[in-house]
């Protein structure tokens, strides 16, 4: 066998399977993809066109354009009072995905344990395994609104625990952590000398609650790599642009891997992103629109009878389907085949995601309305067939 065992052992992302199935069908409503339904704001696209016209088609510094690093530094300072040196503490990456991979590879030795709360974004476990680390899963539950229980977290720490990966606002649950829970987590991080990767890619998409950036908490800046990017807030998924901010020593180590594997992030995307931080009105407009759709879809699911925690961030909702007698994969597959609605089975996001489905509500209101109609009909057919069986 030519393929390394490490790679063979990693299952392909369960999300892809549903897109492949859906791509062969017609009249589909997709609540599957994790991306905004807006095109990138015009000013950013225009800057991209201008960069192309101007011939800005070469590599940039390995670190990324200094001007963009300065803009990110200022942005994090304005939002969270964080102060990062743009020359040594910020690295521009090819999507936040690259920042995640680099930070894990730069930090862990083979056999180090990495605590990952679940349900969680699908990349964390594979990235840890590819770096020869050992993922330790911290389940979260709807009774706690999918927030981390600090006591459970502390029980999972061993002498080999090196890292904690945090993702709030969370994909797939839409949960946001409150300050009190975050402070309790900081105590555990300090007590056991852990390091944290905080994936804050949905930081600007919170609804009626405060978002607290993890490194802004007492003593956490020197123990955290903050990961963020342009994909979600600025509807730039296809531009592949993200960044990491943290202690110079770690950022420099990440930079070492980055310079040999990626050279630099796309130059045109970097030029365009210089416009992004000037577009607060656009960010607000998109957030308000997601919020409207969030409320509509949440209420719609409740009306149908779903047991569902109100999501406070990102653009996902994670209703329970455990009452219908199907696994989350069966539920999603049948919903697709019978009613042509794409949702993602919760099991894709970890074992404790079983019994749930993830729906992205970043679709038009009319699609959401139609999706609810179809889901209602599907659920009614399940209920009918289960009463017939009785
Ligand atoms: N983190 C989370 C939690 C995500 O949901 C995503 C995208 N779905 C990413 C990271 C990766 O984003 P990108 O590489 O486009 O910045």
Mean pLDDT in residue range 320-327: 94
* Integer Cα distance of 184 and 198 in angstroms: 15
Q: pLDDT at position 390, please? A: 53
Taking the centre of ligand 1 as the mean of its atom positions, its distance from the CA of residue 15, in whole angstroms, is 14
DSSP 151-208: HHHHHH--TTEEEEEE-SSPTTT-----HHHHHHHHHHHHHTT-EEEEE-TTTT-BSS
* Integer Cα distance of 68 and 334 in angstroms: 46
Domain 42-276 has CATH 3.40.640.10: yes
Q: pLDDT at position 387, please? A: 64
For ligand 1, pick from 232, 240, 276 the residue to mutate: most ligand atoms within 8 Å of CB.
232
Q: Whose C-alpha lies nearest to ligand 1, atom 7?
A: 34
Where along the chain do its domains lie? 5-40+280-389, 42-276
**Who lines ligand 1 at CB under 6 A?**
34, 95-97, 121, 167, 171, 199, 201, 229, 231, 237, 242
For the stretch 67-81, pLDDT in tens is 999 999 999 999 999
For the stretch 176-221, pLDDT in tens is 999 999 999 999 999 999 999 999 999 999 999 999 999 999 999 9
pLDDT of residue 24 exceeding 90, the answer is: no
Taking the centre of ligand 1 as the mean of its atom positions, its distance from the CA of residue 57, in whole angstroms, is 25
DSSP 99-116: HHHHHHHHH--TT-EEEE
Q: pLDDT at position 23, please? A: 83
Mean pLDDT in residue range 282-301: 97
- The neighbouring-strand residues paired with 165 are 116, 197
CA distances from 380 to 150, 204, 297, 324 (A): 39, 37, 18, 10
Q: Which of 13, 119, 16 is nearest to 355 (CA)?
A: 119
pTM across the whole model: 0.96
Taking the centre of ligand 1 as the mean of its atom positions, its distance from the CA of residue 77, in whole angstroms, is 22
Mean pLDDT in residue range 238-250: 98
* Integer Cα distance of 158 and 162 in angstroms: 9
DSSP 240-273: --EEEE--HHHHHHHHHHHHHHTSSS-HHHHHHH
Class in CATH terms, 5-40+280-389: alpha beta
Pair 206, 312: CB distance under 8 Å: yes
């Amino acid at each position: 066998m030519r393929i390394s065992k490490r790679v063979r052992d990693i299952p392909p992302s369960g999300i892809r399977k549903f897109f492949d199935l859906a791509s062969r069908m017609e009249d589909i409503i997709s609540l599957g993809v994790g991306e905004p339904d807006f095109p990138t704001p015009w000013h950013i696209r225009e800057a991209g066109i201008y960069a192309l016209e101007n011939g800005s088609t070469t590599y940039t510094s390995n670190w990324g354009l200094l001007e963009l690093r300065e803009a990110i530094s200022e942005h994090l300072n304005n939002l969270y009072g964080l102060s990062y040196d743009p020359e040594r503490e910020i690295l521009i990456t090819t999507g936040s995905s690259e920042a995640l991979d680099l930070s894990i590879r730069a930090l862990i030795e083979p056999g180090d344990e990495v605590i990952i709360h679940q349900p969680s974004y699908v990349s964390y476990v594979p990235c840890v395994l590819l770096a020869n680390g050992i993922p330790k899963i911290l389940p979260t539950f709807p009774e706690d609104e999918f927030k981390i229980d600090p006591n459970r977290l502390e029980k999972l720490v061993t002498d080999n625990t090196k890292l904690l990966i945090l993702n709030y606002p969370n994909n797939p649950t839409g949960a946001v952590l409150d300050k009190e829970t975050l402070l309790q987590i900081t105590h555990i991080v300090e007590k056991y000398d852990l390091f944290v990767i905080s994936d804050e890619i949905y930081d600007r998409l919170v609804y009626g609650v405060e978002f607290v950036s993890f490194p802004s908490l007492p003593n956490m800046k020197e123990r955290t790599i903050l990961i963020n990017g342009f994909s979600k807030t600025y509807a730039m998924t296809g531009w592949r642009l993200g960044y990491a901010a943290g202690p110079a020593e770690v950022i420099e180590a990440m930079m070492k891997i980055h310079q040999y594997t990626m050279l630099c992030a796309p130059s045109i995307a970097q030029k365009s992103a210089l416009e992004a931080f000037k577009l607060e009105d656009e960010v607000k407009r998109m957030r308000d629109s997601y919020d409207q759709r969030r409320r509509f879809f949440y209420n719609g699911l409740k009306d149908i009878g779903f047991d569902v925690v109100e999501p406070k961030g990102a653009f996902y909702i994670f209703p329970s389907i455990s009452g219908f007698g199907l696994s989350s994969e069966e539920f999603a597959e049948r919903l697709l085949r019978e009613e042509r609605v794409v949702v993602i089975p919760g099991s894709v996001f970890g074992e404790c995601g079983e019994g749930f489905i993830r729906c992205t509500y970043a679709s038009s209101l009319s699609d959401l309305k139609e999706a609810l109609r179809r889901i209602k009909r599907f659920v009614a057919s399940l209920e009918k067939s289960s009463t017939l069986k009785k």
